[in-house]
Amino acid sequence: MKVMIVESPNKVEKLSQILGDGWTVAASYGHIRDLPKEGEKGEAVAGISLDTFEPKYVLVERAEQHTIPKLRKLVAQADEGVWLATDPDREGEAISWHLKEVLRIADSRYTRVTFNAISASTVLGALEKPRKIDFKLVKAQEGRRVTDRLIGYPGSALLREKTGNRSISAGRVQSPAVRLLAERERQIQVFKPTNHFGAEVEFDGWKAKWDTKLFLTGDSEYILDAELAALAASCRDFTVEASETKPSRKAPPAPFRTVTLMQGASVALKFNPKKTAELSQKLFEAGHITYHRTDSQNFTPEVLAEIRAYASERGWALPEKPRTWKEKDSAQEGHEAIRPTHLEVASAGDTADEQALYKLIRIRAVVSQLADAEYNVTTVRLLCAQGGKSFAFGARGQQCVKPGFEAVLATDVTDGDAAEKTAEEGESGAVPPLPVGSQILALDGRVSMLKTSAPKRYKAASLLAKLEALGIGRPSTYPTIMTTMFERGYATEEKELLYCTPLGTTLVVALIRNKVGFIEYDYTCELENELDAIASGRAEYLDVMRRVNERVEADIARARADESTNTAPRFNCPECSKPLRQIKGPNGLFWGCSGFDEGCRYAVPDENGKPGEKPPAYACPECTKPLRRIGGERGYFWGCTGYADGCKVAFPDDNGKPGKRAPTPPVSAFKCGACGNGLINRKKPGKYNFWTCSNRDCDKTYDDRAGKPVEKKAKASTH
């Protein structure tokens, strides 16, 4: 038997059909190991050795209990070998390595295969190109995880010290993303709109706009004189100063890569990046599209030939040669652009949303290889003397000569920015070629009331596009960036627009004020490139990690030494005068004395980030020991601190103080079979009845049957 292990269970059925008899396909359900959430005692960065920078992995709970035992049995039965076929990126490479290590698969027994699409030709072709795990890719993935912690743990600790806010945290990619929002928020807040004027005149089927530059003086950018604009709008008798008609070409848009798919789906389908990522994952796992986490915007020669043949059969215009696009320097995944696995399939997906996204991907893949749209573009410049002044007007119009790709994609509904820009600039209509020096009469004119606009707020997709332009983040991280900002309270979204919260502003201001390197765009971009270099073998893992750690430690030490950047108020203990510190306990935030190790037990609740009042002491009415407020799954209650000594007194919580105890149910005539004392019928409202012994030292309990106590049934043995 041959065993193939993939990440997602959604791939299992289709791959089993492709591979046929003799194969068993199983899923790892993603990662089976991860870094621990909590570090060991004295560990500066959880799960990371600062000597070797080697991660200390722990098993994921779900995998430990379910996945790994199942996979171990299959691996033991795999007498013809194990194929590790996790996703074709760094994350997938790392998962294959974890599987090999945890399942103890010998080098001679495993084969690593990757496929960019779940189709018979691609999968069977991949089996003919077996290889071993690429440890450079594994180290590149580890480098990102380790770097996130080398930056996140000490960076977050610094932020909490400087701001006094225990809920704030830093991140390698997250913090620069929040900075973009904070800077845009500031630009919008300080923006002051300017009301200004323009003018346009109308002709038969076209119009011309007033060129205001001739009237701008000094540093002025706008016309503020309403009378001057009215004079311009009254122009009627024009002389043609210049007229020119030139050919123009418009190329089709490139195929989708991860970030442009997220942008396109956001504009055309109103899907946020997380939803687009989830839908494209399902389409990939079902075998409908190629791998969706990619930086590339090119296809293989075989695919280009297939698309050109498909277009030719339908009579669509094609360029002389297949189209290719220059790749970004940071493109590192080595995959082709996103496309349908079967071009002839017009609709695919189990839901309406999946089908809509598939259609978007398919049409973009085909259109990207069609011919340019060709136009004749006519521009004219008109002059008019009016009221002793000379006014110039301009017009631009275009006429389609050959539709090219626009015969299939009349309007690119995925390019919202281009659509808005065209609407703002506006075409002048069917501008005719005019003889230079000729006279032309305007039919009408009007003043344009204009107002400058504040910078536009980011949308989720445009923020990711900005991060990509800055070289920050990679395809597999984009949805996580957005999710993290929302979950941690740094950003909110209203009607698709992103707003930076006060907490987000606090984060950014504190990092900039303390001159921490990872908040700088250039530093984060350079670090991304270094992590990419590990994958290509141009850099060593240990060297990169050491440089990152040294930089972070230096930044943190310098910032801690500069007390002028502290914004957190200082509170001292009223009992020993040592500083109080805000602490996150199991029941939430509270303030405790920093002299705890010296014996000071002063502690008070947190009230809006400040030490609150010390709660009054309440004594147990039975043993006189202090009562304490305890938080449980069902809320708070008050219990006796003498519980370990046998005092079981408890009270409900009544707005922060012990409430009235419920009356003790009467002792019945039924006797306890263990000690002979009377039994008490305990009723759980809306749930069930049961019986307990009135003797507090007796732990005997009974089930209730028709109002009578009965012995509990012993559980059946599993042996």
Domain ranges of the chain: 2-133, 143-190+457-564, 195-251+373-451, 258-367, 663-719
Distance CA 376, CA 38 (A): 66
Which strands make up the sheet holding 610-611, listed edge to edge?
580-585, 588-593, 603-607, 610-611
Could you tell me the two tokens for 412?
Answer: 């690119």
Judge whether 517 and 555 are in contact, CB under 8 Å: yes
Architecture of the domain delimited by 195-251+373-451: Distorted Sandwich (2.70)
Give the tokens for residue 618: 């309440």
Q: Which residues of the chain have pLDDT under 70?
A: 42, 328-334, 415-427, 586-587, 632-634, 662, 684-688, 714-719
Residue carrying the six token digits 């949308």 = 459
- pLDDT score of 501: 92
Element (H, E) at 241: strand 237-250
Q: Determine which one of 57, 153, 291, 358 is catalytic.
A: 291
Sequence-distant (≥ 6) Cβ neighbours of residue 637 within 8 angstroms: 629, 630, 650, 651, 652, 653
pLDDT at position 215, please? 94
- Report the amino acid identity of residue 105: I
How many Å separate Cα 294 from the centre of its chain? Answer: 16
Q: Kindly tell me the burial class for residue 261, based on how many C-beta atoms sit within 10 Å of its own C-beta (0-12, 13-18, 19 or more).
A: buried
- The span from the CA of 170 to the CA of 180, in Å, is 15
Q: Confirm if 692 and 682 have CB atoms less than 8 A apart.
A: yes
Nearest alpha carbon to residue 670 among 707, 698, 699, 697: 707
- The 8-class DSSP code of residue 260 comes to H
Residue 367 · residue 253 · CB < 8 Å:
yes
CA angle 230, 233, 234 (to 5 degrees): 90
* 3-state SS, residue 714: coil
CA of 317: how far to CAs of 314, 406, 496, in Å? 9, 10, 37
Catalytic residue list contains 702: no
Quote the pLDDT of residue 421: 52
- Determine the Cα–Cα distance for residues 179 and 334; give it in Å rounded to an integer: 30
CATH class of this structure's domain 2-133: alpha beta
The residue type of 28 is S
Calculate the alpha carbon distances from 38 to 60, 354, 446 in Å: 14, 38, 69
Q: Hey, what are 307's tokens?
A: 């698309």
For residue 314, the tally of other CB atoms under 10 A from its CB is 8
CATH architecture of the domain 258-367 equals Orthogonal Bundle (1.10)
Q: Domain spanning 143-190+457-564 has what CATH number?
A: 1.10.460.10
pLDDT (0 to 100) of residue 425: 46
- Number of residues that make up the chain: 719
